[in-house]
Amino acid sequence: MAYRVKEVFYSIQGEGYHSGRPTVFCRFSGCNLWSGKEKDRSNAKCSFCDTDFNNTDGDGGGIFKNAPKLVTHLLSFWPNTNPIRIEFTGGEPLLQLDQNLIDECKKNNIEITIETNGTQNVPDGIDWVCVSPKANVPIVVRKADELKIVYPQDGLDPKDFAAFKAKYYYLQAMDNDDLKENRDKTVEYCLNNQQWRLSLQIHKVLQIK
Catalytic residue among 7, 15, 104, 115: 115
**CA–CA dist 159, 126 (Å, integer):** 27
**Residue 103 carries which side chain, given as an amino acid letter?**
D
Q: What is the pLDDT of residue 113?
A: 98
Is 203 among the catalytic positions? yes
Q: Domain residues of the chain, as ranges?
A: 3-205
Share of the chain above pLDDT 70, in %: 100
Q: Which residues of the chain have pLDDT under 70?
A: none
Cα torsion through 110, 199, 4, 32, rounded to 10: 130
CB 115 within 8 A of CB 94: no
| pLDDT at residue 45, rounded to an integer | 94
3-205 maps to CATH 3.20.20.70 = yes
Is residue 116 annotated as part of the catalytic site, yes or no?
Answer: no
> Is 4 within 8 Å of 28 (Cβ atoms)?
yes
What was the pLDDT predicted at 46? 95
Q: Is 46 a catalytic site residue?
A: yes
Check 7, 15, 18, 25 and give the catalytic one.
Answer: 25
- The dihedrals phi and psi of 124, each to the nearest 5 degrees, come to -70, 155
User: Is 26 annotated in the active site?
Assistant: no
Q: State the Cα angle at 80 between 76 and 85, rounded to 5°.
A: 70
- Predicted TM-score of the model (pTM): 0.95
- Residue 25 annotated to the active site: yes
Spot the catalytic one: 46, 105, 130, 190: 46
What is the distance between the alpha carbons of residues 159 and 50, in angstroms, rounded to a whole number? 25
CB 173 within 8 A of CB 148: no
Q: What percent helix, strand, coil does the chain show, rounded to 5?
A: 25, 30, 50
Among candidate residues 31, 105, 130, 190, the one labeled active-site is 31
Of the candidates 48, 51, 56, 77, the residue annotated as catalytic is: 51
Interval 40-96: pLDDT, tens:
999 999 999 989 999 999 999 999 999 999 999 999 999 988 889 999 999 999 999
